[in-house]
Structure 1
Amino acid sequence: MEVDPDEPRPRPELATLLATEHWSLLGTRSMTWSEIMSRISILLTVMSAFLVVLALVAQGVGFDRSLLGLAIGFAAASLVVGSLTALRVALASQEDAQLIRGMNRLRAAYVELAPEIGPFLTASTHDDHDGLMATYTLGNRRPMLAHILGSTTFFVIVINTLVAGTLGGLVATAAHGSTWLTALAAGGAGLLWLGLQMEVARHLFSPRLKDVRFPSGT
């Protein structure tokens, strides 16, 4: 039986190369989120340590002006560390989206090599926004708001918002502000920091993806 030289021949080495790239992306994604979880743990540990120190100082000297100054310093330090952590988490989310897009493209290549495996894939083979969200949610439709509120980025943002509000209230108290002024300063500082962090996160993790090679519906 003669073999037609023009007929495309199977190239199993292509699947091996694609799988190697896939495992490389998976490893990078795993290391990224391992780092993020470590940084969040450090943030929470530092904040807990600050609260313990404040409690011990309060037992020793009572609730005087020196304790208020120490609390302001600790709150400011917590806000700096927390904001840096939030920035890193937002950047990691951006990197994670690109890693998922890369793996979606590899699945598209798998399906091109062996079309019969398509129905067995859970994650998407498209690298646009719909394909990205399909892989994130494993095919389950989920409101975007729920995805945002349940994200690690929003978790850190909420922590920083509470710290910013506390810092604003402490500064107003140190300035001998009234109860209403203190409450207004706390609420204003928290809302201001919330808006700033959300804008930074929105700018970094934009749903408008570029260089789409495998759009949905094709």
Structure 2
Amino acid sequence: MSTQDGSTPNEADGVPPSVRAQLLATEHWSLLASRSTTQAEVLTRISMFLMFTSASLVSLALVGQATRFSDMFMVLAGVVLFVDIVIGCLTQVRVFNVAYEDLMYVLAMNRLRAAYVDLDPGIARYFMTSAHDDLPGSVQTYDFLGSRNPLSHVAGSSMTFISTANSALIAIMAGLLTSLFGTGVAGAAAVGAVFGLAFFTVSAVYGYRTYMAVWRQLTPVSPTPRESH
């Protein structure tokens, strides 16, 4: 459709469609680069945490053999495990933040695709990822083939991985502290299991609530049509 002077509506606003497309593409590439950098950074953080934990546990095994697992070894083990847990929790905070940021990048790029479709409606059928910046749109972008169980996505995520690793460390720490009070192996194992499961449950609930809070706060610009839900 043209205006009275023969220009398109976008050109009438002073910005040709080609310029708009270039601006959108620039922003799209910026989001892709930021997303890639963030993912690489969090994977490095997880690797560093695992290396530190592995090295500390091996060191404890060597010290335990040298001290014949004396009282001094128990103190050292408690300190080392405490440091491991602190580093693990800090890593988990970053992993949770990155998951939130990754969702932001996905929604932002979905919104840009909607702008591409506004410029050229004919390209919509070529997008396998979504052009809608809402919950169904994000699900389509993360799994545009629609063949993956949502539970497998959660179970295989970095958030679940780091939560499980920290839960194991907390369980070991709780069992160690319990054993200092003279409880048997069964009692220490039971206390450790309770603390480990409690930490994992709290982490899962926090992650779920944070995820759902996104959709309560977000106002989509290009929501998914009702018939597509």
Same fold (TM over 0.5): yes
Deviations 1:48-77 (A, max 9, x none): 110121122123122222222222221111
What SS does the corresponding residue of 1:215 show, helix, strand or coil? coil
Q: Of the candidates 48, 51, 58, which is equivalent to residue 45 of structure 1?
A: 51
Q: Relative contact order (alpha carbons < 8 A, sep ≥ 6): 1 or 2 greater?
A: 1
Q: TM-score, normalised by structure 1?
A: 0.92
Alignment identity in percent?
33
Which residue of the partner structure matches residue 223 of structure 2?
A: 215
- Aligned residues of 1:129 and 1:208 also touching (Cα < 8 A): no
Structure 1 unaligned residues grouped into runs of 5+:
none
Which residue of the partner structure matches residue 115 of structure 2?
A: 109
AA at the equivalent of 2:5: P
Separation of aligned partners in 1, 2:189 and 2:86: 22
Q: TM-score, normalised by structure 2?
A: 0.88
- Aligned residues of 1:105 and 1:127 also touching (Cα < 8 A): yes
Separation of aligned partners in 2, 1:211 and 1:143: 27
Which residue of the partner structure matches residue 12 of structure 1?
A: 18
Deviations 1:102-149 (A, max 9, x none): 000000111111112111112100011010011111332433222111
How do 1:127-146 and structure 2 match up within 5 A? 127-146=133-152
What SS does the corresponding residue of 1:206 show, helix, strand or coil? helix
Deviations 1:59-103 (A, max 9, x none): 312222222222222111111111111111111111111111000
AA at the equivalent of 1:87: V
Which residue of the partner structure matches residue 98 of structure 2?
A: 92
How do 1:189-204 and structure 2 match up within 5 A? 189-204=195-210
Separation of aligned partners in 2, 1:146 and 1:52: 32
Separation of aligned partners in 2, 1:201 and 1:74: 27
Separation of aligned partners in 2, 1:73 and 1:206: 37
Which residue of the partner structure matches residue 185 of structure 2?
A: 179
- Aligned residues of 1:104 and 1:124 also touching (Cα < 8 A): yes
AA at the equivalent of 2:85: L
Say whether residues 1:148 and 2:154 are aligned partners: yes
Deviation at 1:45, TM superposition (A): 0.9
Query: Higher mean Cα deviation, 110-119 or 4-13?
Result: 4-13
Runs of 4+ residues deviating >4 angstroms: none
Structure 2 unaligned residues grouped into runs of 5+:
none
Separation of aligned partners in 1, 2:135 and 2:214: 7
AA at the equivalent of 2:70: D
Deviation at 1:215, TM superposition (A): 1.1
AA at the equivalent of 2:28: H
Query: Higher mean Cα deviation, 147-156 or 66-75?
Result: 66-75
